[in-house]
Amino acid sequence: MTTRYTEDHEYIRVEGATGVVGITNYAQDQLGDIVFVELPAIGKKLKKGDEAAVVESVKAASEIYAPVSGTVTAVNGALSGEPGLINLSADADGWIFKLSIDDAAELDTLMDDAAYAKHTA
């Protein structure tokens, strides 16, 4: 299982041909208490960099962009009733959506753990 990161603090955890997308712990910490999540529609086609979802906190609203191109295959419905899951567990229970990855080569344009750690230092 590989995880890659965008400069906008999204992560994509690669599980076979599926990517699990959310925001990083760094991002949720910067946003503060998350109060609302707008989830994408299942079946929505996304190109890398397209706006996929919106996360609203007590401080600001932030767009969540698709880290790679693909089709949304699942959304984390638990976030509708409990958006704070992102604050509690951004990289596990707080995932936002899953997508089928169209072009695995796009993953090579994203940061690995070491590069992301340097990016947020």
Q: Where are the domains of the chain?
A: 2-104
CA distance 101 to 116: 21
Q: Which helix (H) or strand (E) holds 28?
A: helix 25-31
Please tell me the predicted confidence (pLDDT) of residue 1: 78
Q: Whose CA is closest to 112, among 19, 3, 10, 26?
A: 3
According to the model, what pLDDT value does residue 86 have? 98
| CATH level 3 topology of 2-104 | OB fold (Dihydrolipoamide Acetyltransferase, E2P) (2.40.50)
Per-run averaged pLDDT (10 residues), the chain, 121 residues: 95 97 97 97 98 96 97 98 97 97 97 97 93
- Supply the pLDDT for residue 88: 97
Give me the residues paired with residue 40 across strands: none
Q: What is the pLDDT of residue 109?
A: 97
CA distance 40 to 65: 11
Report whether 47 contacts 103 (CB < 8 A). Answer: no
Instruction: Tell me what pLDDT residue 38 has.
Output: 97
Q: Which pTM value belongs to this model?
A: 0.96
